[in-house]
């Protein structure tokens, strides 16, 4: 693979990604969509392992990795999670991941620890979603549920707080068509990005092509 480097104003060299590498990431990020209808095709253990492995590379506060992931395969437990978040479509997933903030692991930060643990957890979940896309899998982020009820379902101790329920599987044809078809719109950058201070718009950036 071709190595490319840039040199900054202080003479420091750093490696840059090739255009092919950047396009791969761009394709993964821009093609990801939430999926609520899954086929019965089983998620392979190797796919799941690679997906979960990527969570280890998410940035975390102090490098403490204050998160845990509970992998749920059993149909009855998946059904319980679906009931807990009042989302029947969760029952159709092959696998459900529950991302939890580990407050005990972030205890060194005192009262700020739980906030850092939540940030760690959501970053890990984002990495998992993108890794799933790379594996040809689809996911959806479910965040509305009673954490205590979900903790009871997965047997989490008191310092481990469920933050994200993530069904994983292969999308149905209808979901795949919706994913690749027209109609999905993200906000333009000038609606989201501010220059130096809030309210000052940046207009010179181009959004990702979909």
pLDDT for the residue numbered 174 = 72
pLDDT for the residue numbered 129 = 92
Helices (H), 61-201: 75-84, 113-134, 147-154, 173-180, 189-192
Q: Using one digit for the tens of pLDDT, what is the confidence trace for 25-76?
A: 777 776 777 767 688 999 999 999 999 999 999 999 999 999 999 999 999 9
29 in a structural domain: no
193 in a structural domain: no
pLDDT for the residue numbered 85 = 95
92 in a structural domain: yes
195 in a structural domain: no
203 in a structural domain: no
pLDDT for the residue numbered 195 = 83
User: Higher confidence at residue 54 or residue 3?
Assistant: 54
Q: What is the spatial distance between Cα 79 and Cα 74, in angstroms, rounded to a whole number? A: 9
Q: What is the count of structural domains for the chain? A: 1
**Whole-angstrom Cα Rg for the chain:** 19
157 in a structural domain: yes
192 in a structural domain: no
Provide the percentage of residues in the chain whose pLDDT is more than 70.
80
Residue 142 is classified by DSSP as B
Residues in the chain, total: 210
pLDDT for the residue numbered 49 = 95
> pLDDT confidence of 23, banded at 50, 70, 90?
very low
Structural domain that includes position 94: 34-171
| pTM (predicted TM-score) | 0.80
103 in a structural domain: yes
pLDDT for the residue numbered 163 = 98
Assign residue 98 the CATH number of its domain. Answer: 3.40.109.10
pLDDT for the residue numbered 197 = 84
Query: Is 99's pLDDT higher than 50?
Result: yes
Q: What is the spatial distance between Cα 102 and Cα 125, in angstroms, rounded to a whole number? A: 14
pLDDT for the residue numbered 123 = 97
| Contact indicator for 157, 70 with CB cutoff of 8 Å | no
């Amino acid at each position: 693979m071709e190595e490319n480097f840039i040199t900054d104003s202080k003479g420091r060299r750093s490696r840059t990604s090739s255009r092919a590498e950047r396009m791969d990431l761009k394709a993964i990020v821009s093609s990801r969509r939430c999926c609520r209808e899954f086929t019965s095709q089983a998620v392979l253990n190797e796919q799941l392992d690679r997906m979960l492995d990527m969570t280890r590379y998410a940035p975390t506060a102090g490098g403490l990795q204050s998160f845990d992931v509970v992998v749920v395969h059993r149909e009855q437990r998946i059904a319980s999670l679906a009931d807990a978040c009042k989302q029947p479509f969760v029952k159709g997933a092959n696998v459900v991941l529950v991302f939890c903030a580990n407050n005990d692991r972030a205890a060194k930060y005192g009262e700020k620890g739980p906030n850092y643990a939540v940030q760690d957890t959501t970053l890990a979940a984002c990495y998992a979603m993108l890794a799933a896309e790379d594996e040809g899998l689809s996911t959806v982020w479910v965040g509305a549920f009673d954490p205590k009820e979900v903790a009871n379902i997965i047997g989490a101790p008191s310092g481990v707080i469920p933050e994200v329920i993530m069904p994983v599987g292969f999308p149905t044809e209808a979901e795949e068509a919706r994913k690749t078809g027209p109609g999905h719109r993200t906000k333009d950058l000038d609606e989201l990005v501010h220059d130096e201070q809030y309210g000052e718009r940046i207009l010179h950036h181009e959004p990702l092509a979909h």
